[in-house]
Amino acid sequence: MKIHYLGHSEFLVEIENNNGEKINILCDSWLSDYVFGDMMKRYPTLEIDYSKLKIDVIFLSHSHSDHLDPYILTEIYKNIIPRPTLLIPETMEFLIPIFKKYLPKQKIEILKNNKTFNFKGIDITGIIFQNDYLTNEDDVMTLAISNDKELLYTDVDTVPPENEESINLLYDLFTQKNYESALYLSTRNELPGNFKIIGSNSTKQRIEIEKSYKEERSEEIEYNYYRFEEDFPNCSDIQELPYFLKGLIGQGIVHPNEESLKLRILKLEEEALIETKIAKKYQRNFKTIPFTPGKTHLIKNGNIEIGENIYFLNNFSINNPKTDLNTDFFMKYISGPLDERPGNYKAQEQKILKMLNSKFLPYYLGNSEDNLKNAILNSKNSKYVVKIRYGNSLNYFERNYYFSFGSMGFEEEIGKHGEYNEDYWANDLEDFLEGSQELYTNFWHTLTPKKTYRVWTMLGANFLNNDILYKKYDFHFKRAKAGRSVESFIPKKIKDVVS
């Protein structure tokens, strides 16, 4: 089995069936230079030679824009004949009309949870873990690809829950055949630490963040081992299997300014060393390899070898500077809304009130982890208040909308405005509701310290916001079909703070 690693969470698997036929499966599709959701840059960027690229199946794990890329899917659709089969998880069924609209005659297969789709003798199995807590990745389907000798499992962009059911499920998966090699491809997303570093105010603060974050991540990695002694002594560990291998991928989203690359902490190479040290402490002897973007990785006879450059990439290079917390790069934020248009106050107010009452209230009144009732009880005025600024940074006015135990829903606060819980520009919320902003655009916004932005978090919730996701992908597929690039979508205000 060969894995052509493309950076971030994307890779192309080349695996043989029993007839010796090579089947090529692309896992996720974000290969554009930027994430259209927040305009962060891909690391590394790619120049694809579509005349050389061979794909039989494209698997899309979930609906985040760093995994589902309309611009690349449109290019593949135009350039690769016969067209690959599009394999989507059942959690993304609501987007099928979009695929059919912009990729007509595209063959689409739906992968059901814990079911196997056999493609020309290769088993492709999807697993959606059932969490007892809310995340913005509840729709993620993890993936297993196998023939009779080799297994690849990738957790994609999520962490399997810490419970017996999940542990046993993975063990059954890794032992269902007499494998010679079984690779766990683990996505290590260190964005929380990296963006804390980028958003810091001084070198001293960066050093403190790095130390704290590395300690926290080391503890999380170690728990993956000692949990079998402390919490799950009756469960079997896949990491003890003689043919088990681990590969580390991820960390493919960076700030567009090249200097920010010096502020990456806990790179894959360092994380592999930590993993190996901890594994030996618990008598686990498997091999852990940090995957190298742009390289083909050969999985054979229980071993991983890093091979040649990927055959369908042109002019590939990667800038991988050493971490330097003394670099003079500091994050710049945007003041005002992302789009400075005047806005239609009445139309925006109707949309915002509808969103607050039909989405926000049900989400947080029923949220056991962050309940709106508790936020109201802890407030000084016994209200939950959302401040909205209408207009642009040069000419705007404010309105407060509140919910209390005496309310039937959010309504405008009349009279003098007091304390508020969170604040937004109407233009930003309207753009989100219409599909041209999303959860991670707030990387660029100036947020008030020590406030919890629950509305923005709610708008990133799975399933509740399928209507918004539908609009978003319709918007970007339409741009892609018209030949427009994702780079041309970057707002001027973002370009100004990056340069």
Q: Residue ranges per domain, the chain?
A: 2-309, 345-498
Question: What is the DSSP code (8-state) at residue 436?
Answer: S
Supply the pLDDT for residue 278: 98
What tokens were used for 331? Answer: 């994050």
Alpha carbons 98 and 403: distance in angstroms, whole number? 36
What tokens were used for 386? Answer: 């959302």
Alpha carbons 374 and 365: distance in angstroms, whole number? 9
70-102: pLDDT as tens digits: 999 999 999 999 999 999 999 999 999 999 999
234-245 as b/e, with b when 16 or more CB fall inside 10 Å?
Answer: ebbbbbebebbb
338-384: pLDDT as tens digits: 999 999 999 999 999 999 999 999 999 988 888 899 999 999 999 99
259-295: pLDDT as tens digits: 999 999 999 999 999 999 999 999 999 999 999 999 9
416-440: pLDDT as tens digits: 888 999 999 999 999 999 988 877 7
Task: Write down the CATH number for the domain with range 2-309.
Answer: 3.60.15.10
pTM of the complete model beyond 0.85: yes
C-beta separation of 410 from 402 below 8 A:
yes
Let me know how long the chain is. Answer: 499
**Neighbouring C-alpha atoms within 13 Å toward the C-beta of 458:** 24
316-344 as b/e, with b when 16 or more CB fall inside 10 Å?
Answer: beeeeeebebeeeeebeebebbbbbeebe
